[in-house]
Chain A
Amino acid sequence: MKMLPPALRPRPKKPGIKPAKNGNGSGNGAAVDENGKKSKPPLKERAKPVVDGAAEAGVGTIGWVDERSGLTPFLRGFMYRKVPKGINWFQTLGAATMFAFAAQAVTGVFLAMYYDPNPTEAYESAARITNELFLGEFVRGMHRWGASVMIVLIFLHMGRTFFYGAYKYPRELNWIIGVVLLILTMVMGLTGYLLPFDQRSFWATEVAVALTGSGPMIGPYLGDFLRGGAEFGPATLTRFYALHMLLVPGLIAALIGAHLYLVVKLGITAPPWLKAEKRRELSEEEI
């Protein structure tokens, strides 16, 4: 068992007391005994392992966190879980969508540092980002086109899921979470479109909110909620800003967590045309 450095191995609770084997399966009797012995001698001799510990500070930190969180077995289960044979490039689209979301989050944070959601200042701050800031237009461009990339990827991911029949038992719930993620991504596109506050964004959003408001039953209430009142006004921009920056991305991040949890729990879909080989064939192949 050489998988774990000494720092990752469970430590004795008290000097000199042999600990019971730990649940994470990495318990190594010899090493623990060694540790146990080392803690017995007087202070002078004990000083040496402490220096050694400082030399591997990184590992020591991992060990410290691991001892308190039990993260290593979880991560090992996550990384070394098996994925079915035959998975292909179409099945990287979900991870690609998640990566596009991460890129949006990072560029979005940088934009938020310089953006001012006040209706009298919004356009000016967007213009400052675009025209004056170092790499400002580049980051805005990344955020803008990153949105398109994410939309394309999420639709492709959904298409792949559909044609593989991957929404069927036992993955129905994950399909539903995915559809909600798709809708939330579209909401991100809609709310983000207003923020530069130029003519394009203003008029398109005016129409979009009017359309929402024309719906039956909850339509008018939803329209008023988005506008922050009966008229398109200063409250509208701050409302879209809050939705775009806090509520919707928070929901997306949380739902991606749930989505991934179910992917790991239920396993990645195998391409539907594949059949499992019989045991005998497998052993022949391995030879």
Chain B
Amino acid sequence: MNRQEKEQYLREYSLLKNQGKSFFPYAVIKDSFMAVLVMAVIIFMALLLGAELGPKADPTTTDFVPRPEWYFFFLFELLRVVKPPELVVMATVGIPTICMVLLILLPFIDRNPERNPLKRPIATLAGITTIGAMAYLTLLGALAGTPTVIELETKPQFEAGRDVAAQSGCLACHQIGENGNSGPGPNLTDIAERLPRQAIERTLLNPTSPMPSYQALKDEQPEKFDDLVGYLGSLRETE
């Protein structure tokens, strides 16, 4: 905005302001009504939904599928949408950071003096698209189940390991056969073709973030850990 546009806006605004009403009580009464409404909604939700408390935090368990609060679903889903491993950092840190910077810089990016949403179609469209994308990702996150069953056929000696894998939350981030989510972790259906058994074990014990370490499982229940490694080491497409 150049100086003339600025002055024009200030003039117009001061006219509108002079034609307005006093903050008290005309705006205060609306704000107070909203305050009562907000309070009513919070109380209603607290009574209806309560505050559940799950089992105590236990760093040694591996069968818990991490799930954020619903308002982080859109960030969480971003991880799943972005599949190539080299781009995961982009999804986890890059996109949120870029979005934050863009939001902060918005007044300097959009320098169009027009304010009416109908007369600045690009900004309005961008806003609607952003809201739509966030709503879509949140919905995907809400609908993404936490599967605990692997239907992929396996040899009898690996069935114990398959059950461990199914209950260990692998499916939250990995796909095995038809089950599980397709990200952020790689598809495990044919992992044994790409990684030898020792490498799988090393990854389980010392994974790259955000995957949790299975060191605790090895310490607490070594036979279950061995079953898990055995099962993952048997996963080949050709079987």
| A interface residues with partner B (beta carbon < 8 Å) | 78-87, 89, 92-93, 95-96, 99-100, 103, 123, 126-127, 130, 137-149, 151-153, 159, 162-172, 175-176, 179-180, 182-183, 186, 189-190, 193, 196-204, 206-208, 210-216, 219, 232, 267-268, 270, 272-277, 282
Q: Which of B58-117 contact A (CB under 8 A)?
A: 58-59, 61, 64-72, 88-89, 92-93, 97, 100, 103-104, 106-108, 110, 113-117
Q: Which residues of B contact A100 (CB under 8 A)?
A: 38, 42
CA distance A83 to B30 in the complex (A): 13
Q: Which residues of A contact B57 (CB under 8 A)?
A: 123, 197-199, 201-203
Query: What is the interface of chain B mostly: helix, strand, loop, or mixed?
Result: helix
Q: Is the CB of B54 within 8 A of A200?
A: yes
Q: Is the CB of B31 within 8 A of A85?
A: no
Q: List 30 A-B contacts (CB under 8 A).
A: A79-B28, A80-B24, A82-B20, A83-B21, A87-B20, A92-B30, A96-B31, A96-B34, A99-B34, A103-B39, A123-B56, A126-B53, A141-B45, A141-B51, A145-B42, A146-B42, A164-B117, A165-B116, A167-B110, A176-B107, A197-B56, A198-B57, A199-B56, A199-B57, A203-B65, A207-B68, A207-B210, A210-B210, A274-B16, A276-B12
Q: Which residues of A contact B18 (CB under 8 A)?
A: 82
Q: Is the CB of B71 within 8 A of A148?
A: yes
Nearest CB of chain B from residue A153's CB, rounded to whole Å: 7
Nearest CB of chain B from residue A98's CB, rounded to whole Å: 9
CA distance A140 to B191 in the complex (A): 44
Known: A87-B27, A216-B89, A272-B115. A211 touches B20 (CB 8 A): no
CA distance A194 to B72 in the complex (A): 14
CA distance A159 to B89 in the complex (A): 28
Per-position 1/0 for B5-25, Cβ under 8 A of A: 110011011011111111110
CA distance A168 to B113 in the complex (A): 8
Q: Which of B203-226 contact A (CB under 8 A)?
A: 209-210, 212
Contact of B212 among A162, A165, A207 (CB under 8 A): A207
CA distance A169 to B72 in the complex (A): 32
Check B46 for interface membership: any CB of A closer than 8 A: yes
Q: Is the CB of A276 within 8 A of B16?
A: yes
CA distance A197 to B67 in the complex (A): 14
Q: Is the CB of B35 within 8 A of A95?
A: yes
Nearest CB of chain B from residue A113's CB, rounded to whole Å: 16
Contact of B42 among A103, A232, A277 (CB under 8 A): A103
Chain B residue, CB-CB nearest to A211: B92
List of 3 A-B pairs having minimum Cβ-Cβ separation, nearest first:
A141-B46, A165-B115, A202-B57
- Size category of the B interface is 35 or more
Q: Which residues of A contact B1 (CB under 8 A)?
A: 168-169
Q: Is the CB of A216 within 8 A of B23?
A: no
Check B120 for interface membership: any CB of A closer than 8 A: yes
Contact of A196 among B53, B106, B212 (CB under 8 A): B53
Q: Which residues of B contact A127 (CB under 8 A)?
A: 53
Q: Which residues of B contact A268 (CB under 8 A)?
A: 27
CA distance A151 to B17 in the complex (A): 30
Q: Which of B134-176 contact A (CB under 8 A)?
A: none
Q: Which residues of A contact B21 (CB under 8 A)?
A: 82-83, 85
Contact of B68 among A159, A175, A204 (CB under 8 A): A204
